[in-house]
A and B are shown apart, each in its own frame.
Chain A
């Protein structure tokens, strides 16, 4: 069957098998390998992408189901050569180690901050609770999202520079 889908703003029209999973469509057909496959059972969240405006686990979405919709992946977080504050936060706060869960974590975090610009640590933990990280013990992921929240405002067109205070707080040399 044929589907037409917008991925990170680029339109694709492709022939796909009806059974093809979205994660495999993105990775194998479009060669967008930033989204990862981790479990098959919607438990780990390594495959999280946005379907229109909502994070979904792309290992349990068929490519056929995104026909006529928009998909956003980790490759679509950066804009105009600038990292999204969520990406910047993960790098600054050591929110990743092996990097395998990171794309999914960042996409959910971006969704959270779009809906709750000033989340508490508990709200961040709740938002990410459907995703598994085997490396960080979650501590620095929470800090990364808090950093991003603090610097989101500065990122907006009317805002100023990224918050240097948070950087100094973390003690990390950049």
Chain B
């Protein structure tokens, strides 16, 4: 990497990632790579039942195991007042069960032993007597009369209803629907899935009893938020807690919450006085850590006969599992589902979301969903296709007719979101051109003549990311602003500290490029520090595509503060007035006399020297910024998927996938494209393979990679990417965020393509995942219910 930037374009670009030097040598440091002297290993005993009363827990035999150091139960924790912990949605969650177990895989006991195998051995020595209770798995049944009450721990609770939330104008929407030429309705399930990062969750907790300092190495996407939560929950002083996120093997939202076993490892370290490591296995990961989606949706779309969309009406039953543990801003219990009007110009819209408890694992916001924009985009994009079919319109043309126009921005949606910028039709046209859409339609017609099932699916999405403005958005009372510290050493090398936490997104490179561009440095000269709460400023971490929109902005603002301070020092060096200096060619120079100039490196040395400085500058160039976003950012894109369906087996092959993303300014296009590739694979996986189903007793049917299928190199096509660039008008460098765009936008394109393929057979809708069995059943007229398997 030799690029030196004297302008954003000089430092931005396809530079190689700083991270890769260690990763290609196998020298990353993931949590399970950490081995401390005297370290013990934890293991969790989990409930085999989805709903049962705990009669007794017998730990005597386990405690007698020669290699066991401690056995912790719900009773142990209750004695410390720690049996229940707060969730990110102001509910509580059992750390270790005391009264009942409420989902299969729930934490019941925690063993600390000398090695990981012995810890597992000891689990088998714990005797738990359960009194089974009827489980409720179906969200509709959970609200019905006679459903077992899951959360009888909450005084006065007599049912499983959690919340009702609505957005939009119900009366205006009803009026639009009453007068509409065409109304199309569809029930659809966005099935429960799991992000399944390749590295599972884990922790090493080390309580130093002498200093009182607790150090927690953890797979956390939000180390600062974790530190504050531990301080509040455990009653420890926050300055004595250090949370370190080392290298993280993917997160996708599943590593945002504090999980019960993290707390158990901390308690285990407190009890034993030694470091305790806990790393979950794959089944634990899939069965107990936060799931995603599980939205049962009823959508209705109203339009004129000629295809002008007028209104959208949606009802959602949101299955939140046994504890309401979704991670989203407090005022948004359904996340940002309120953006369900998508990218279209319509008159009225209304949605109502009802949250419900079931005997399933808690969670609900994870898996690159941008706080449920994924569900919203899927809903509106399926409804657009169903409308197109109803009125005999081409789905691409129907979208072009209804997309928001550039002159409408900033655009206030019927549900109150202010989209900041966009030229949607242009982006869709780029996609249609790249795909050669007319040729695809001609090919499809020819194949249909021959009885072949080829489908073309279009989707268009508008994301809402970069949460968010503090006055509207907080998590557990913590406003969603993020900090950046920038230190410039005397020789002009810089260290940037940020609160966000990479899990593979390449922050160490991208953020160095941001600072380098602002200061005329090489990205090689900027070291990015993240993931260590003792070394970085406070902020809420990386999820919801918020790193570049929030922390990236903070980094740019801090760099500009450094640059302004440097201007004053440069003026003293050049014996000129600061007002006479201009920033050009990566340095401060005298306006009209470009020979007279100083680089940041020269200025930094002077700022640390004995040079007499003007009033207002004490020395050094360091700066710290906190960025409170004025609005969300709204990346968007147009996706086209081409599939072939085998009519005999129902197997779907994704032949082509064209993705045109507009994420504003691209700092490192190579990294941006990599992020998009990932999300497109998610789309193929969710649409065709991935779902966590349950049987009626509450047994999880997706508890291993043999049952929960992920896309491999064989299911993914070679992605075809294009771009448009519409800078975000309110972001310091015009960037919008991109990490989740493709996950949000692509599932609808795949499903629309499969439904398009099946159209000649009269198939209108089938829920994800479109497995061969599901597609084959749909062809027979009976698409499967993909959330439940009847035993």
Contact = CB atoms under 8 A, between A and B. Distances in A.
Interface of A: 17, 19-20, 24, 27-28, 31-41, 43-44, 46, 73-75, 77-78, 83, 87-88, 90-92, 94, 96-103, 106, 121, 124-126, 128-142, 170-174
Contact of A38 (B282, B670, B714): B282
A96 B20 contact: yes
Contacts of A130: 712
A14 B632 CA distance: 57
A97 B510 CA distance: 13
A60 B355 CA distance: 42
A3 to B, nearest CB: 17
Interface of B: 1-3, 13-17, 19-30, 32-33, 35, 115-117, 195-200, 247-250, 252, 281-283, 503-506, 670-671, 673-675, 677-681, 704-706, 710, 712-714, 716, 718-719
A33 B670 contact: no
A103 B674 CA distance: 18
Contacts of A91: 16-17, 20-21, 24
A161 B166 CA distance: 64
Contacts of B679: 137
A131 B247 CA distance: 21
Contact of B678 (A40, A43, A136): A136
Contacts of A35: 26
Contacts of A171: 14, 670
A98 B199 contact: yes
B713 A128 contact: yes
Contacts of A17: 117
A41 B281 CA distance: 11
B713 A39 contact: no
A31 B29 CA distance: 12
A97 B30 contact: no
A73 B680 CA distance: 31
Contact of B30 (A40, A73, A100, A142): A100
Nearest to B197: A134
Contact of A24 (B116, B252, B675, B705): B116
A38 to B, nearest CB: 5
B24 A83 contact: yes
A41 B20 contact: no
A13 to B, nearest CB: 20
A74 B719 CA distance: 28
Contact of B505 (A31, A88, A97): A97
A173 B25 CA distance: 21
B3 A102 contact: no
Contacts of B200: 38
Nearest to B283: A40
Contact of A34 (B25, B506, B714): B25
B249 to A, nearest CB: 3
Nearest to B705: A43
Contacts, number: 189
Contact of B25 (A36, A39, A74, A133): A74
A33 B27 CA distance: 7
B26 A33 contact: yes
Contacts of A101: 198
Nearest to A33: B33
A39 B506 CA distance: 25
A174 B504 contact: no
B2 A39 contact: no
Nearest to A106: B24
B677 A137 contact: yes
Contacts of A94: 17, 670-671, 673-674
Contact of A139 (B21, B704, B705, B716): B716
B456 to A, nearest CB: 21
Nearest to A172: B14
A90 B20 contact: yes
Contacts of A19: 117
Contacts of B718: 121, 139, 142
B17 A98 contact: no
Nearest to B502: A98
Contact of B15 (A41, A121, A135, A172): A172
A10 to B, nearest CB: 15
Contacts of A103: 26
Nearest to A102: B23
Contacts of B16: 91-92, 172-174
B26 A73 contact: yes
30 contacts: A33-B33, A34-B25, A34-B28, A36-B30, A36-B198, A38-B200, A38-B282, A39-B282, A41-B705, A46-B198, A74-B25, A91-B20, A94-B670, A94-B674, A96-B504, A98-B248, A99-B28, A100-B198, A102-B23, A124-B713, A126-B713, A134-B195, A135-B504, A136-B674, A136-B681, A138-B677, A139-B677, A139-B716, A140-B674, A141-B713
B677 A136 contact: yes
Given A97-B678, A134-B198, A172-B16, A39 B704 contact: yes
B388 to A, nearest CB: 28
6 closest cross-chain pairs (CB), A and B: A34-B26, A98-B504, A99-B23, A100-B249, A137-B677, A97-B504
Contact of B705 (A44, A87, A88, A96): A44
A130 B714 CA distance: 9
A137 B282 contact: no
Nearest to B681: A137
Contact of A44 (B14, B20, B198, B505): B198
Contact of B714 (A32, A40, A126, A136): A126
A18 to B, nearest CB: 11
Contact of A98 (B3, B115, B198): B198
Contacts of A133: 198
Which of A24, A74, A96 gathers the greatest number of chain B CB atoms within 10 Å? A96
Contacts of B27: 34
Contact of B32 (A27, A83, A90, A106): A27
Contacts of B505: 97
Nearest to B505: A97
A34 to B, nearest CB: 2
Contacts of B13: 173
Given A137-B716, A173-B2, A75 B198 contact: no
